[in-house]
Chains A and B, each alone.
Chain A
Amino acid sequence: MKTARQPKYLRTPGRTLDAQLHLLDRQVLDVDGVPVTTVDDIEISAPPPETPIPAGTPAPTLTALLTGPVLGTRIFGGRPPSSRLIRIPWRDVADVGVVIRLGVRGEPLDADWVERWIRDKIIARIPGGRHDPR
Chain B
Amino acid sequence: MKRLLGVALGVLTAIGGFVDIGDLVTNAVVGSRFGLSLVWVVATGVVGICVFANMSGRVAAASGRATFEVIRERLGPRAGLANLAASFLINLMTVTAELGGIALALQLASSVQYLLWVPVAVVAVWLVIWRVRFSIMENVTGLLGLTLIVFAVALFLLKPDWGSLGAQVLAPSIPEQETAASYWYYAVALFGAAMTPYEVFFFSSGAVEEGWSIKDLAQSRINVLVGFPLGGLLSVSIAACAAVVLLPAGIAVTSLSQVILPVAEAAGKVGLAFVLVGIVAATFGAALETTLSSGYTLAQFFGWSWGKFRRPAQAARFHLSMIICLLIGGAVLATGVDPVLVTEYSVVFSAIALPLTYLPILIVANDPQYMGEHVNGRPVNMVAMIYLVIILAASLAAIPLMIVTGAGS
A interface residue numbers (CB < 8 A to B): 20, 24-28, 34-38, 40, 67, 71, 74-75, 97-99, 114-116, 118-119, 122-124, 126, 128-134
Assess the B131–A129 pair: CB atoms within 8 A: no
Assess the A26–B133 pair: CB atoms within 8 A: no
Q: Give CA–CA (A99, B134) in the complex, Å.
A: 25
Say which residue of A67, A126, A134 sits within 8 Å of B133 (CB atoms): A134
Scan B340-377; emit 1 where CB is below 8 A from any A CB, else 0.
00000000000000000000000000000110000000
Contacts of B310 in A (CB 8 A): 133
Q: Which of B52-75 contact A (CB under 8 A)?
A: 63-65, 69, 72-73
- Check B308 for interface membership: any CB of A closer than 8 A: yes
Given the known interface contacts A27-B65, A99-B65, the answer about A122 and B316 at a Cβ–Cβ threshold of 8 Å is yes
> In the complex, how many angstroms separate the beta carbon of B122 from the nearest chain A beta carbon?
15
- Check B81 for interface membership: any CB of A closer than 8 A: yes
Assess the A115–B131 pair: CB atoms within 8 A: no
Residue in chain B with minimal CB distance to A127: B130
> In the complex, how many angstroms separate the beta carbon of A102 from the nearest chain B beta carbon?
12
Given the known interface contacts A75-B77, A118-B320, A131-B131, the answer about A98 and B369 at a Cβ–Cβ threshold of 8 Å is yes
- Check B302 for interface membership: any CB of A closer than 8 A: yes
Assess the B303–A115 pair: CB atoms within 8 A: no
22 contacts between A and B (CB under 8 A): A20-B76, A24-B76, A25-B73, A27-B65, A27-B303, A34-B314, A35-B299, A37-B303, A38-B301, A98-B63, A115-B304, A119-B314, A123-B312, A124-B313, A124-B316, A128-B312, A129-B313, A131-B311, A131-B312, A132-B311, A133-B132, A133-B311
- Check B317 for interface membership: any CB of A closer than 8 A: yes
Q: Which of B289-343 contact A (CB under 8 A)?
A: 299-306, 308-314, 316-317, 319-320
> In the complex, how many angstroms separate the beta carbon of B274 from the nearest chain A beta carbon?
31
Say which residue of B72, B131, B316 sits within 8 Å of A38 (CB atoms): B72
Contacts of B80 in A (CB 8 A): 25
Residue in chain A with minimal CB distance to B63: A98
How many residue-residue contacts, CB under 8 A, span A and B? 92
Most buried by B among A25, A97, A114, A130: A25
Assess the A71–B131 pair: CB atoms within 8 A: no
Q: Give CA–CA (A34, B131) in the complex, Å.
A: 21
Q: Give CA–CA (A71, B63) in the complex, Å.
A: 25
Contacts of B319 in A (CB 8 A): 123
Contacts of B78 in A (CB 8 A): 75
State the majority secondary structure of interface residues on B.
Answer: helix
Residue in chain B with minimal CB distance to A121: B316
Residue in chain B with minimal CB distance to A36: B303
Assess the A98–B65 pair: CB atoms within 8 A: yes
Most buried by B among A36, A97, A118: A118
Assess the B312–A37 pair: CB atoms within 8 A: no
Assess the A130–B313 pair: CB atoms within 8 A: yes
> In the complex, how many angstroms separate the beta carbon of B263 from the nearest chain A beta carbon?
36
Q: Give CA–CA (A129, B306) in the complex, Å.
A: 14
Q: Which of B128-162 contact A (CB under 8 A)?
A: 130-134
Contacts of A118 in B (CB 8 A): 316-317, 320
Scan B62-102; emit 1 where CB is below 8 A from any A CB, else 0.
01110001001100111011000000000000000000000
Assess the A123–B303 pair: CB atoms within 8 A: no
Contacts of B317 in A (CB 8 A): 114-115, 118
Assess the A35–B320 pair: CB atoms within 8 A: no
Most buried by A among B76, B311, B370: B311
Most buried by B among A67, A116, A122: A122
Q: Give CA–CA (A115, B320) in the complex, Å.
A: 10
Contacts of B132 in A (CB 8 A): 133
Given the known interface contacts A27-B65, A131-B131, the answer about A115 and B73 at a Cβ–Cβ threshold of 8 Å is no
Assess the B304–A35 pair: CB atoms within 8 A: yes
Assess the B369–A133 pair: CB atoms within 8 A: no
> In the complex, how many angstroms separate the beta carbon of B402 from the nearest chain A beta carbon?
28
- Ordered nearest first, which 8 A-B pairs have the shortest CB separation? A38-B303, A119-B316, A37-B303, A123-B316, A118-B316, A35-B305, A124-B313, A129-B312
Contacts of A34 in B (CB 8 A): 305, 314
Assess the B73–A129 pair: CB atoms within 8 A: no
Q: Give CA–CA (A37, B312) in the complex, Å.
A: 17
Assess the B65–A35 pair: CB atoms within 8 A: no
> In the complex, how many angstroms separate the beta carbon of A130 from the nearest chain B beta carbon?
5
Q: Give CA–CA (A65, B323) in the complex, Å.
A: 31
Known: A27-B69, A99-B65. 9 other contacts (CB 8 A): A25-B80, A35-B303, A35-B304, A35-B305, A37-B304, A98-B65, A115-B316, A124-B316, A133-B309
